[in-house]
Amino acid sequence: MTARGDLPAGTTTFVGRRTVLADTGALLRRARLVTLTGPGGVGKTRVAVETGRALAQAFQHGAWRVRLGDLQDPAALARTVTTVLRIVDNAPEPGLGRLVESLHDKHLLLVLDNCEHLLEAVRQLVHRLLHDCEGLTILATSRVPLGVYGEQVQRVPPLDGDDAVRLFLDRAEMAPERAEVAALCRAVDGLPLTVEVLAAQPGGAVLSEVLHHPEPATLEQVLEWTAQQCTDDERRLWARLSVFPADLDLAAAEAVADADVLKPLSALVLRSLVETATSPVTGETRYRLPDTVSQFGARLLTDADEALRRHAVHYSEFVDEAARSWFSPGESLWMGRLWEEWPNVRAAVGHALRTPDLAAVGAAVAMNVQRARFTSFAGMLGQAWDLLVAAREVVTEAPLRTSLLAHCAYMAQVRGDAEVAFPLMTEARALPRLPITDVHLVLAEATHLFFVEGSADCVPLYAHVVELCRQYSSPGDIYITELMHTMAACFLQDAEASDKATTALARQAESNGVNWAHAWGLWHRGLHELLHGDPAQVHPLVVQALRIQLTLGDTWSAPFSLWLLACTCVELGAFDRAARLLGALRSQERISKISFSGMKPFHRLLDHSDRTVRRSLGDDYQVITTLGADLRPEQAMAFALEPVPVSERRPPRPQLPGGLTRQEFTIAGLVADGYTSKQIGAQLFISPHTADRHVVNIRSKLGLPSRVALAAWHRSASGER
């Protein structure tokens, strides 16, 4: 969350309103909830934005606007606010908890724009936020007051005569005489949106209707007269654009209209019926209907089902392309485009799932969003989970349901939530499947073996998933499964297998130029060195990975780097630093909803590190870990990136006899103590078969003929040390 917030820059001049701006600012200085009220088109949003921009510097964490006109589902209100504020929201259960947790110590201005259609949900949200977040001030816009205790209501009036004339002249390409302009503005009661629409009229027909109307013309009447002056293509496009809940690009307009729309779209822009802005992601023009104009356009729509269907299919194809294409140098562009289109994607899934013959399309979009990594990358797994839950309620037939259940199980597993994952996977196992379904289900099966059982049997199963992906999936899917295969090899196989897997993973990322994948390649190399090599090499590798992750804005990967850095500092003997990182990691687990305790290999190493730090620091342990837990996320990451001073490190460990790794030397010690392969497996959380293979490899490395000889060697080597 930046200090400046996200209020948009003005693209047109702001005319008049000095009094209402001053009054609103004065109210906000003494009240924590101010609501701007007035009819549609009176300029409540513009007043709110200008007020927020003027006061943003007075709030430590800036001013933020949440557009609620796009939102139709009251249950998604808290998640929508969380998304706009860029707060990580990965919790599967919806609610205000994450929002309150993040805002309780923030000093910011929250602008809730267009609340009237969500009054009850907004009331509950505002009441809770104001009660639990003392530094929060809320500026709302609504056609009616919210009705919350402590609310101060500021009515936004129409423009007075002079200001209305100034607005008309500012917006008009060719204006009539000033006296006629003044008459027009009086005839529409100075309503700003109506004045802007009139100023943009290319001919005089609408102006004549307004001037000769016996009573003041309403905005709805002006829009009706304007529609009559539009061509058939313009009216049809206006109607079809009303199905978009948010802004859109030219390709989306063409898909929904099923025609070349450039000419009618340009005409609607000239008539001030469509607003334009430049995308900060692509640099291309994006289009948006003002809420009142969109509502009128919906009344012109004679084929709503067809328009909504085209909208859903277009965004299905868009997300499918993102899932197939993100594993490329254009990954940041795809993440930006998905963020920009998220309200449309979410609406497309909702409509598809409500339409029986489009349900499969909706379920595919819900899965493909996660295949493109967007929701995990952006910290929006909660919203992704909501869509998948909705899809599971609708999709009942295999093999699509099989894939859907397995996909959900995998999502739960990588959060460390086996309790949620297991029943989903159990149901999926019992359903029919196709080869493509196997990709999802076998991936979930392998991840269960890895995270829940800590079994090396997952490694060949991951290798099988990689082969399935090469036949049926995209390059990004292949890389994700190779990443899991490499992680399992590092944790559960010997040094040679781990080294081979991490080298191949890094080479794959470098060949595709994907920064996200490059960061994970560095991370895995660090994991390999920590488990099988030299811990002193880990820190610079993981710091480099974390820098890339933070630069990309990847909220999911950063906690894994924090975990690895904490464990590394323990091995380096930097116990104070390790304790602070362990405390910060606990906060990150809570925020990101990643449970390392639910992933056995991660938990085992983390538990060992934690016990080591406790023994080393004694009574100071609790104090230092609490200091780390109290760091804000950006502070924790800045601390994690700092180099470990030499003065904090203990002397490096001497090289182990025979060139063995630590795990190999430990296994040799267990053989010397008389452990069987089954007992070694139980001790180290590996299978007896894997333990036996390790013993054979160790004997081969040392040139020893039997377990008895290995036991004798270890006793001798331990005595020498």
Write the DSSP string, 164-181: HHHHHHHH-SS---HHHH
pLDDT of residue 653: 53
| Reported confidence tier of residue 413, pLDDT bands at 50, 70, 90 | very high
pLDDT confidence of residue 697: 86
Judged on CB neighbours under 10 Å (0-12, 13-18, 19+), 601 is buried
Q: Are 81 and 96 in contact (CB under 8 A)?
A: no
User: Is residue 564 within 8 Å of 578, Cβ to Cβ?
Assistant: no
Q: Residue 3: what pLDDT?
A: 47
Q: Higher-confidence residue: 703 or 122?
A: 122
Bond prior to 399 in cis (omega within 30° of 0): yes
Could you tell me the two tokens for 286? 């994006």
pLDDT digits (tens, 9 = 90+) for 278-307: 999 999 999 999 999 999 999 999 999 999
User: Percent of the chain having pLDDT more than 90?
Assistant: 77
Report pLDDT for 651. 55
> Of the given ranges (234-238, 435-439, 480-484), which has the lowest mean pLDDT?
435-439
Q: Is the pLDDT of residue 5 over 80?
A: no
**pLDDT for position 10:** 65
Average of per-residue pLDDT across 22-46: 94
Question: 85, 101 in Cβ contact below 8 A?
Answer: no
Q: What is the pLDDT of residue 70?
A: 82
Average pLDDT, the chain: 92
Total-model pTM: 0.86
- From first CA to last CA, the distance across the chain in angstroms is 53
Structural tokens at position 23: 């009054």
pLDDT band with cut points at 50, 70 and 90 for residue 721: very low
Residues with Cβ within 8 Å of 499's Cβ and at least 6 positions away in sequence, in order, are 528, 532
Three-state DSSP class for residue 249 = coil
Token pair in block for residue 447 = 């991840």
| Host H or E run for residue 609 | helix 600-617
Residue 173, token pair as written in the block: 């390409």
Helix (H) or strand (E) holding 111: strand 108-113
Sign of CA dihedral 504, 507, 509, 511: negative
Mean pLDDT on 507-517: 87
**Residue 2: predicted pLDDT:** 46
What is the rounded average pLDDT of the residues 390-409? 94
Q: State how far the Cα of 135 lies from the Cα of 125, in Å rounded to an integer.
A: 16
What mean pLDDT do residues 216-234 have?
Answer: 94
Beta-bridge mates of residue 288: 275
14 pLDDT band, cuts 50/70/90, is: confident
Mean pLDDT highest for which of 13-27, 108-122, 498-512? 108-122
Confidence of residue 655 (pLDDT cuts 50, 70, 90): low
Digit-coded pLDDT (tens) for 176-216:
888 999 999 999 999 999 999 999 988 788 999 999 898 99
